[in-house]
């Protein structure tokens, strides 16, 4: 079952029938040693650290998937008002989280 994801508080052309509450997903990732070394070299000359771009992108996809699983467990067919956030847990490890409101829409 596909689920509608949006970061606006309303869905154009649809109406919220039932409110199911807050759903969230998070991941804590540490950096890959190989990527860290590559990033260290890139850090000397400047420019994009592609390893980290991919790493953070994948981690964000994963926590979104967890949030979606959470929403599906509640029987939602949409998650509205989605927000992304980050926090630093320990040296080198980062938490990415995403949260939103699970709803049933028409």
Query: In this chain, which of 17, 22, 53, 65 binds other proteins, going by CB under 8 A?
Result: 53
User: Does 16 help bind other proteins (rule: CB under 8 A)?
Assistant: no
Nearest CA among 67, 73, 57 for reference residue 5: 67
Selected binder of other proteins within 57, 65, 69, 75 (CB under 8 A): 57
The contacts of residue 9 (CB under 8 Å, 6+ apart) are 80, 81
What is the Cα–Cα distance from 65 to 71, expressed in whole angstroms? 10
Which stretches of the chain bind other proteins, using CB under 8 A?
2-14, 31, 36, 39-40, 42-50, 52-53, 56-57, 60, 82-86, 88, 91-92, 94, 96
């Amino acid at each position: 079952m596909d689920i509608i994801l949006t970061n606006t508080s309303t869905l154009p052309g649809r109406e919220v029938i039932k409110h199911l509450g807050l759903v969230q997903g998070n991941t804590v990732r540490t950096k890959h040693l190989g990527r860290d070394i590559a990033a260290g070299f890139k850090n000397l000359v400047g420019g994009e650290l592609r390893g980290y771009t991919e790493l953070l992108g994948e981690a964000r996809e994963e926590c979104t998937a967890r949030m979606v699983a959470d929403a599906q467990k509640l029987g939602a067919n949409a998650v509205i008002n989605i927000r992304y956030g980050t926090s630093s847990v320990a040296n080198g490890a980062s938490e990415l989280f995403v949260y939103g409101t699970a709803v049933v829409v028409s």
